[in-house]
């Protein structure tokens, strides 16, 4: 946790959020869900629980993803943070799973463990 706070402070000191908002819903469906639950197929729906907002140079949002599991319909709620480090031309995203109704558990994705560069 201390590493995350330290990295956050470092990134905030050298970052600014881009003029165009980051698409957290698209990231949730195309990156997070496919990483956390690679066998999911079929209809996937995602929506903002908390719309994106910018505070202290960091853009945050909460997204809920609905997906069909093997036995039942499931959902996953993720808090996302995004920073753009303009000097290094990096876009970094971090996610925290708040809830996942799947009984199979969530596979650990790179952006759950640390800041992940979005290309």
pTM over 0.75: yes
pLDDT band at 110 (very low <50, low <70, confident <90, very high): very high
How much is the pLDDT for 31?
A: 93
Q: Give exposure, 97-113, as e/b (b: 16+ Cβ within 10 Å).
A: eeebebeeebeebebbe
pLDDT band at 12 (very low <50, low <70, confident <90, very high): very low
CATH number at 72 reads: 3.10.450
* Residue of 89 and 64 predicted with greater confidence: 64
pLDDT in tens, 26-85: 999 999 998 998 888 888 999 999 999 999 889 999 999 999 987 889 999 999 999 988
Number of domains in the chain: 1
- Contact between 62 and 75 (Cβ < 8 Å): no
Residue 58 structural domain? 2-117
How much is the pLDDT for 39?
A: 84
């Amino acid at each position: 946790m201390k590493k995350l706070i330290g990295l956050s402070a470092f990134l905030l000191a050298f970052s600014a959020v881009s003029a165009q908002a980051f698409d957290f819903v698209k990231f949730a469906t195309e990156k997070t869900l496919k990483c956390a639950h690679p066998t999911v197929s079929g209809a996937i729906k995602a929506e903002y629980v908390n719309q994106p907002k910018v505070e202290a140079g960091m853009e945050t949002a909460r997204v809920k993803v609905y997906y069909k599991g093997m036995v039942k319909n499931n959902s996953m709620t993720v808090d996302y943070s995004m920073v753009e480090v303009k000097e290094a031309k990096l876009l970094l995203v971090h996610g925290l799973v708040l809830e996942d109704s799947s009984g199979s558990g969530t596979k650990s994705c790179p952006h759950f463990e640390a800041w992940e560069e979005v290309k």
